[in-house]
Amino acid sequence: MRNLTELSLTELISPQGFDCDCGKHHVMAIRHVKIGEHAIEFLSEILQDLTIKKPFFISDQNTYRAAWQYIEPVLHEVQIEYSEFVYQEEHLEPNEYAVGSLTMAFDRSCDGIIVIGSGVLNDIGKVFANAVKLPQVVIATAASMDGYGSNNASMIQNGLKVSLYNACPQAIIADTRILAEEPVHMLQAGLGDMLAKYVSICEWRISNLITGEYYCENIASLIRSALKKILDSAGGLLQHKENEQKKNSKEEQIIDREKTDEQNRIIKKDRSQYYQAIENLFEGLLITGLAMGFAEISRPASGLEHYFSHVWEMMSLQRGKIPQLHGLQVAVGTLLSVAIWQKLLVYPASSAAAINKAEQFIDSFDQIQWENMVRRIYGNKTAVQVIAAANAEGRNSKEKHAERLAMIKEKWHEIINIVKSELPGYQDLINIMRKYDLPLNPQEIGYSEQDKQDALIGSREVRNKYVTSSLLWDLGLLYEWEI
Ligand SMILES: [Zn+2]
Ligand SMILES: [Zn+2]
C-alpha cells in the first residue's frame, strides 16, 4: 500500500489511484493542479487537454476584479472565444436562486465551465458543471477554505445546509499573485478551516468505534500532516499582511519611494517568503479536499465544529443577516468542541451511574418535545426536512441507542485515548488562535450565548453523522450541557 503522506500533490492526483488497506481504491478525477506564481499561464494548455474550446466563466464582482487582469491576457494570446457570467450580488448564497440565475444566463454553445473564486462560487460551480455535464476548471482567488479539490458542494437547499456530492473540478489553478491579494480575514478563514481537522479526525475515529462507520487511517494521516505543514509555516502569513497594511498608509508610501536597495531587497525576500507560505496554505487546504474525495465522504474534514457553523449560518439566513466567513465560524466551533471534550474527558461515562442516566434519558425521551425543539432552532420550513430525515434513519430509535451505549461503555477508555492523541489542549488551541488573531467566541462573530447553546443542541440534527453532540445525546447529557 502507498502511504499517502509520502506522495507529492501530482502523485496524489494520479489517474490510476491507489489500493488502500481500508479496502477502498482511492482515486480522484482531478487531472491538473497548478500552484505558484504565474500558474495562470497553464490555462490554455489545460483547456486544450480538457478539449474545452469555448469556456463559460463564472465569477462575482470581487473575484472578477482580483483575477481577470491575469486571465484576460492569456485568453487574448490564444484568441479563445468565451462567455461569462458575473454575479452582481454583494453577498451570494449557494442556494437554488444562485444556481437558477446561472442556469438562465448560461450560454449553451460553451463546452466547459471556469469558476473564478473560492468557497461559495466553487460550490455553485460544482453543482452547475455536474448538471450540465461539462468539465470544470477552477481559478482560485483565496486560500480561505478546503473545498477546492473535494467532490462535495456545501449548498443551501430549502434553507437547510446540505452536502451535495457532485463531480470535482478537473483542473485547479492557484496563481499566488492572485491569492496574495486576498484580504487578511480570508487567510484567517483558511487557517480556521484547517484547525477544524483536529476535531474532524478525532470524531471520525470515535464514530468508527461506536457506530462502525468506515475509517481510513491513511487518509487521516494525510490530513494530520497537511495541518502540521500549515501550522509550521503560517506565522509569516499574518506578519506579512500586517507589514503590508502599515506600508499602505500614506506616510509609509512617501518613505517607500526613498527606500534603499537593501530595504528593497528585504521587501522582495519578504514577498517571496510570503508567496511560499501562501502556497503551502493553499496546498494543505487542497490536500484536505482531496482527502474528502478519497474517502467519498466529508468526514475527514468536517465534524461538530462545522455543524456549529452550519447552524449559525442557517440562523443568519432566517434573520436576514449575512453570516461570517465559513472558516472563521468553524474556528470558533473548533474551540467550543475542544472545550466540550475537556469536560467530557473527566466524565465517568462507563460507570453504572452514567449508564443509568443515559438509559433514563432514552426511556423518558419525548418525540413531540424533540420536534418542537427542532422547529424552534431550524424554523418551521427547514424543520420538516430535518424531522423527516431523522425519522427515516431512526436517529432517535431506542434500539440503536442501546447498541451505541453498549459500545460507549465498552470502548470509553479507547475513546479517551483517541481524544488525548488527536485534540490539542484547550489552552494550546487558544494560543494558536490568538497567534492568528482568530475569533474566540460566538459573540465576536455575531451570535449570542443562546445561539451557542442552540447550535450545540441543533448540531446533532444537521445530518446523519455521529459527532460529539450525538455522543452527548447518547449519554443523556446534550440538553443539560452548558458550554
Ligand atoms: Zn484508505
Ligand atoms: Zn470547512
- pLDDT (tens digit, 9 = 90+) per residue, 122-166? 999 999 999 999 999 999 999 998 989 888 899 999 888 888 987
Segment (H or E) for 83: strand 83-87
With beta carbons less than 8 A apart as the criterion, state whether 182 and 285 touch: no
pLDDT higher than threshold 80 for residue 256: no
| Assigned C-alpha cell, 361 | 434519558
Same domain, 296 and 315: no
Does some domain include residue 438? Answer: yes
| Assigned C-alpha cell, 394 | 431512526
* Number of the ligand closest to the Cα of 214: 1
pLDDT higher than threshold 70 for residue 356: yes
| Higher local confidence (pLDDT), 9 or 251 | 9
With beta carbons less than 8 A apart as the criterion, state whether 71 and 137 touch: no
Does some domain include residue 295? Answer: yes
Does some domain include residue 435? Answer: yes
Same domain, 343 and 232: no
| CA 163–ligand 2 middle distance (angstroms) | 11
| CA 251–ligand 1 middle distance (angstroms) | 55
Q: What is the CATH number of the domain that holds 94?
A: 3.40.50.1970
pLDDT higher than threshold 70 for residue 255: no
With beta carbons less than 8 A apart as the criterion, state whether 433 and 195 touch: yes
Same domain, 291 and 315: no
| CA 327–ligand 2 middle distance (angstroms) | 6
* Beta-ladder partners of 138: 115, 172
Does some domain include residue 164? Answer: yes
- How confident is the model at residue 246, as a pLDDT? 67
Q: What is the CATH number of the domain that holds 240?
A: 1.20.1090.10
- pLDDT (tens digit, 9 = 90+) per residue, 15-47? 999 999 999 999 988 999 999 999 999 999 999
Does some domain include residue 270? Answer: yes
* Number of the ligand closest to the Cα of 2: 1
Same domain, 133 and 88: yes
| Angle separating helix axes 304-318 and 326-344, nearest 10 degrees | 130
Going from the C-alpha of 54 to that of each of 76, 109, 136, the distances in angstroms are 13, 7, 12
Same domain, 285 and 319: no
Does some domain include residue 62? Answer: yes
Residues near ligand 1 ion, CB 5 Å cutoff: 20, 22, 216, 218
Same domain, 387 and 358: yes
Out of 179, 214, 230, a domain closes at 179
Q: Which residues contact 260 (CB under 8 A, 6 or more apart)?
A: none
pLDDT higher than threshold 70 for residue 102: yes
Structural domain of 106: 31-179
* Number of the ligand closest to the Cα of 296: 1
- How confident is the model at residue 301, as a pLDDT? 94
Length of the chain: 483
Same domain, 425 and 461: yes
Out of 115, 144, 179, a domain closes at 179
Look up cell 473564486; give the residue. 117
Does some domain include residue 39? Answer: yes
Residue 299 CA to residue 295 CA, distance in Å, equals: 8
Q: Identify the band that residue 421 occupies on the pLDDT scale cut at 50, 70 and 90.
A: very high
Whole-model pTM: value is 0.89
Total domains present in the chain: 3
Same domain, 154 and 196: no
- How confident is the model at residue 282, as a pLDDT? 93
Q: Quote the percentage of the chain above a pLDDT of 90.
A: 76
Does some domain include residue 21? Answer: no
Same domain, 403 and 319: yes
Out of 154, 179, 204, a domain closes at 179
Same domain, 86 and 192: no
Same domain, 339 and 437: yes
Same domain, 314 and 264: no
- How confident is the model at residue 183, as a pLDDT? 86
* Number of the ligand closest to the Cα of 191: 2
Q: Identify the band that residue 428 occupies on the pLDDT scale cut at 50, 70 and 90.
A: very high
